[in-house]
């Protein structure tokens, strides 16, 4: 039986709101709704926001793992229900979240939870390759263990080994970086740098026709074969100054 949910002060307001917990400050790992399951599941973004609003104001959240299958007080798979394992200091809770009759989502239970130990991960060599035309905020970034640089088409084939390395590193809580560099449909070479520093959120540096931008977000399993991972969850994006 789930225990009484924690107090719910306004803590996890959307990016840009007062009193927010910024996605740069905690790691988000998002589950994937099973391909063979029916229904429209609660999104990772909504699970994370709701879980944050269900934590006491004094708690410093360091990681949230969302899931559609529970780890403690289990119920059958249901698109109107999801879970978030929230880590804060030395404590962790599995927060149960359910869609209400009016379409909103709310915390419906919280159970203390002991997360498993991090899986082993062998760090690749540290590197931070410069990108032609990128601003100093990109090319002067702190070097991290680099899983690889994927070149070629944005539609594949993908460097699954390098992508798996990044995905495994993030799940293990280890600093890691992965770079993809592809020409877009107009021939512009677009580069995306995925970074995780070992704490905080996943940082994504990328360029498009408008220049370079930085996003802090979470990650989860990719829907497209070969991609391994994709961004997901609560995010915040800002443009970087031009070089």
Q: What is the pLDDT of residues 121-131, one digit of tens each?
A: 999 999 999 99
pLDDT of residue 93: 92
Q: Is 138 exposed, middle or buried (0-12, 13-18, 19+ CB in 10 A)?
A: buried
C-beta separation of 144 from 195 below 8 A? yes
Model confidence band, residue 143 (pLDDT cutoffs 50, 70, 90): very high
Q: What is the mean pLDDT of residues 29-57?
A: 92
- What average pLDDT does this structure show over 16-41? 86
Q: Quick one: pLDDT band at residue 58, thresholds 50, 70, 90?
A: low
Q: Give the DSSP letter string of the chain.
A: --BPPPP--S-SPPTTSTT---TTSSEEE-----TT--S-PPPHHHHHHHHHHTS-TT--EEEEEEESS-SSS-----TTEEEEEEEETTEEEEEEEEE-TTS-EEEEEEEE--PPPPPP-----EE----TT--HHHHTPPPEEEEEEEES-TTS---HHHHHHHHHHHHHT--EEEEEEEE-TTS-EEEEEEEE-SSSPEEEEEEETTEEEEEEEEEEE-SSTTT-EEEEEEEEEEEPPP-
* Res. 38: pLDDT tops 90: yes
More confident residue, 7 or 231: 231
Return the pLDDT at 8: 27
**pLDDT for res 14:** 36
Residues of the chain above pLDDT 70, percent: 90
d(CA 204, CA 192): 7
Q: Is the pLDDT of residue 20 over 90?
A: no
What number is the average pLDDT over the span 202-230?
Answer: 95
Task: Read off the pLDDT of residues 157-187 as tens digits, 9 standing for 90 and up.
Answer: 999 999 999 999 999 999 999 999 998 777 7
pTM of the model: 0.89
User: What is the average pLDDT score of the chain?
Assistant: 88
Residue with the larger pLDDT of the pair 5 and 93: 93
């Amino acid at each position: 039986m789930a225990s009484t949910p924690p107090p719910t002060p306004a803590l996890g307001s959307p990016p840009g709101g007062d009193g927010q917990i910024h996605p740069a400050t905690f790691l988000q790992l998002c589950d994937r709704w099973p391909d063979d399951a029916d229904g429209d599941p609660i999104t990772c973004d909504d699970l994370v926001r709701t879980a944050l609003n269900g934590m006491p104001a004094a708690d410093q959240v360091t990681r949230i793992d969302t899931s559609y299958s529970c780890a403690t007080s289990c119920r059958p798979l249901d698109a109107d229900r999801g879970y978030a394992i929230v880590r804060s200091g030395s404590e962790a809770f599995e927060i149960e979240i359910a869609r209400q009759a009016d379409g909103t989502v709310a915390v419906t239970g919280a159970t203390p939870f002991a997360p498993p130990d991090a899986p082993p991960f062998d760090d690749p060599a540290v590197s931070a390759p410069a990108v032609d035309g990128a601003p100093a905020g990109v090319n002067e970034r702190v070097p991290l263990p680099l899983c690889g640089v994927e070149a070629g088409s944005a539609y594949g084939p993908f460097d699954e080994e390098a992508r798996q390395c990044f995905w495994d590193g993030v799940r293990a809580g280890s600093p890691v970086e992965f770079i993809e560099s592809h020409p877009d449909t107009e021939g512009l070479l677009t580069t995306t740098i995925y970074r995780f520093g070992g704490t905080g959120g996943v940082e994504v540096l990328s360029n498009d026709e408008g220049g370079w931008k930085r996003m802090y977000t979470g990650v989860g399993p990719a829907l497209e074969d070969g991609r391994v991972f994709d961004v997901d969850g609560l995010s915040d994006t800002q443009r970087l100054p031009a070089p």
